[in-house]
Amino acid sequence: MLFQVRMDVNIPRDLPVDQVDQIKATEKSYSQDLQQQGKWRHIWRITGQYSNISIFDVESNEELHNILQGLPLYPYMTIEVVALNRHPSSIRDDDR
């Protein structure tokens, strides 16, 4: 199942810098592992914002939910999920 996920990050300004740096490092490792597994297919920054648009390829809504809740930055995010379906006019044989 393919999903488009927008993540807007809002880290509190009073959070200690070393704690923020640790969270970001853990987040990067977590996301890169999911990318290597093929579950987090694409990630793009949104220019001028601390936000991204990502494409996930997972088995179920629950799997995506668990992945998103596992993000170290999750407590500081607003997340919007859009389920994607193949368009009948697509010239691609698959979604890869």
pLDDT tens, 5-50? 999 999 999 999 999 999 999 999 999 999 999 999 999 999 999 9
Tokens of 19: 């704690």
Percent of the chain past pLDDT 90, that is, above it, reads: 89
Residue 94: per-residue pLDDT: 74
Which residues have a Cβ under 8 Å from the Cβ of 59 and sit 6 or more positions away? 1
Residue 92: per-residue pLDDT: 82
Rounded-to-integer distance, Cα 4 and Cα 26, Å? 22
Residue 96: per-residue pLDDT: 62
Instruction: Report domain extents, the chain.
Output: 2-72
Domain at 2-72: CATH architecture: 2-Layer Sandwich (3.30)
Residue 95 has pLDDT above 70, yes or no: no
Task: Give how far Cα 91 sits from Cα of 6, 61, 86, 87, Å.
Answer: 26, 26, 10, 9
CB atoms within 10 A of CB 21: 10
